[in-house]
Amino acid sequence: MTFTTVTFVVFLALVFALYWIARRRTLQNLLLVAASYFFYAWWDWRFCFLMLSSSLVDYSVGLGLNVTKGRARRRLLLLTSIVCNLGLLGFFKYYGFFAANLQALTTAIGWRLDELTLRLILPVGISFYTFQTMSYTIDVYRGRLRATANLIDYCCYVSFFPQLVAGPIERATRLLPQFTRPRTFDYATAADGCRQILWGFFKKMVLADNLGAIVDSIYNNPQAATGPQLALATVCFAYQIYCDFSAYSDIAIGTAKLFGIRLMRNFAYPYFSQNLEEFWRRWHISLSTWFRDYVYIPLGGSRVGRPRKAFNAIVTFLLSGLWHGASWSFVAWGAANGVGVLPRLLRRGKALKAADTPGGAGFLPTAGALGRMLLTFAITCLLWVLFRAATIPDATWNQALLIYRSMFAEAFSPAGYQALWRMLAEEGWMRRTLYFLAGFVGIEWLQRRREHALSLDRWPPWARWALYTLIIWVTLDVGTRVSGAFLYFQF
């Protein structure tokens, strides 16, 4: 079941009621585990055995690390966890990719290799929960926390249904202790969670799904589109993937608040960034910090010379690109982002953090800040072309190159802009979606100091409720016409 369905709303209401009726922490956790496995089984009940197997391996490794003193034995236990997690992820997500490339390589050198392809279904959320369980054993190995002996608490950490399928990817040091403490209902926290859920529904159903329809109508036949139309589709895709994924994160974080659980922030207004390094501090924060903590820093991080620092960054982004999917386009996308962060990364100076106000503290950005934001957004949009091509099964490098060539060659084509205006004039729903998008960008700018855009504690109650009612009616009116799965479910 997906978040934006009546089924999920009914499921959430039932679990919420039973959870607070239970009161006792042990019963609450047991209910959360049962509800989470039911939620996961809704896609395919066989996936539950895979998640349970991964959980039991890392739970056992954690207990072993608690009592093992020898360095070699501890490393062996950690290696067991890493191999099992990456083995599961690699088999289900990358087997077909590597098999196809191996066959192509052997064919190129004149060898004949029998068919290696298996028909595998990618388990939903496997990229997320394997990284989460693996970080648990790594942190236990490093001594950052002691492994829990309570299997139910641990399973809550792994399978917590709001963030199970697409994150945020939590750390055990932050999330696991919340399941070991008693929780009491807090109205203010729950109310804020509802506001964040509402904002997530709006972003997904009104913006992401409708923007996706614009993107598909143009990108599905790029040969017939003009450069300006492809440029519009590229900008729309940038906001489609942002609104789609940040909507999931908002709903997940808001839902967790209903149960007295705090999940980490996953997006911090990334399109107001002034360089690519800042962008990656604000985009998919849980994954970016995961690769920073478990790949970049162990490689040497920024404590080494500039050549090695550049190498560490490129390797980290290559692996990040590959994490997103089994495609060379994802690898190229990761490499391009790695190269893009180097100019800022190799300079000495203070970098903006996700908690800092993007675009400056003023009501309007300075001319320099605005120029840097627009340039960073333009570069990001161009890189999203590679990402979009990688998500389409039949897409090739040629499609991405065609889009690039058309956008640049026809950047100043009067005929191209005339075709774009004609398309928008004929398609009223496209214009309406773009109006909503413009309003959304304005609201995000005004609220960029807040965790989410509906943090309106300074507004009088009547004004807040009027806005909530308007958002609900707009979402029901516009959002029910187009329905799509969350994009990151495929990763």
| Structural tokens at position 444 | 């995000």
Rounded CA separation 467/113 (Å): 62
pLDDT at 471: 92
Q: Is 82 exposed, middle or buried (0-12, 13-18, 19+ CB in 10 A)?
A: middle
pLDDT at 157: 94
Tell me the pLDDT tens digit for each residue of 12-51.
999 999 999 998 999 999 999 999 999 998 887 888 888 9
As a whole number, mean pLDDT of residues 209-225 equals 89
Q: What single DSSP character describes residue 489?
A: G
Give 231 or 166, the one with higher predicted confidence: 231
Rounded CA separation 344/106 (Å): 41
pLDDT at 457: 83
| Active-site residue, 284 included | no
Tell me the pLDDT tens digit for each residue of 363-408.
888 899 999 999 999 999 999 998 887 665 555 567 788 888 889 8
Question: In this structure, what are the phi and psi dihedrals at residue 405, rounded to the nearest 5 degrees?
Answer: -60, -45
Q: Is 71 exposed, middle or buried (0-12, 13-18, 19+ CB in 10 A)?
A: exposed
Q: Please give the mean pLDDT across all residues of the chain.
A: 87
Rounded CA separation 301/224 (Å): 46
Confidence class of residue 345 from pLDDT cuts 50, 70 and 90?
Answer: confident
Please identify which of the residues 204, 324, 388, 452 carries the catalytic annotation: 324
- Say which residues have a Cβ less than 8 Å from residue 430's Cβ, sequence separation at least 6: 214, 423, 424
- Say which residues have a Cβ less than 8 Å from residue 22's Cβ, sequence separation at least 6: 28, 31
Report the SS3 class of residue 485: coil
pLDDT at position 424 over 80: yes
Confidence class of residue 110 from pLDDT cuts 50, 70 and 90?
Answer: low
pLDDT at 116: 47
pLDDT at position 353 over 80: no
pLDDT at 476: 87
Q: Which of the residue ranges 65-79, 120-134, 184-198, 316-330 would you say has the lowest mean pLDDT?
A: 120-134
pLDDT at position 176 over 90: yes
Q: Which of the residue ranges 97-106, 248-257, 282-291 would you say has the lowest mean pLDDT?
A: 97-106
- Say which residues have a Cβ less than 8 Å from residue 161's Cβ, sequence separation at least 6: 32, 35, 36, 39, 40
Tell me the pLDDT tens digit for each residue of 235-279.
999 999 999 999 999 999 999 999 999 999 999 999 999 999 999
As a whole number, mean pLDDT of residues 340-357 equals 77
Q: Is the pTM of this model over 0.85?
A: yes
| Structural tokens at position 422 | 């004609």
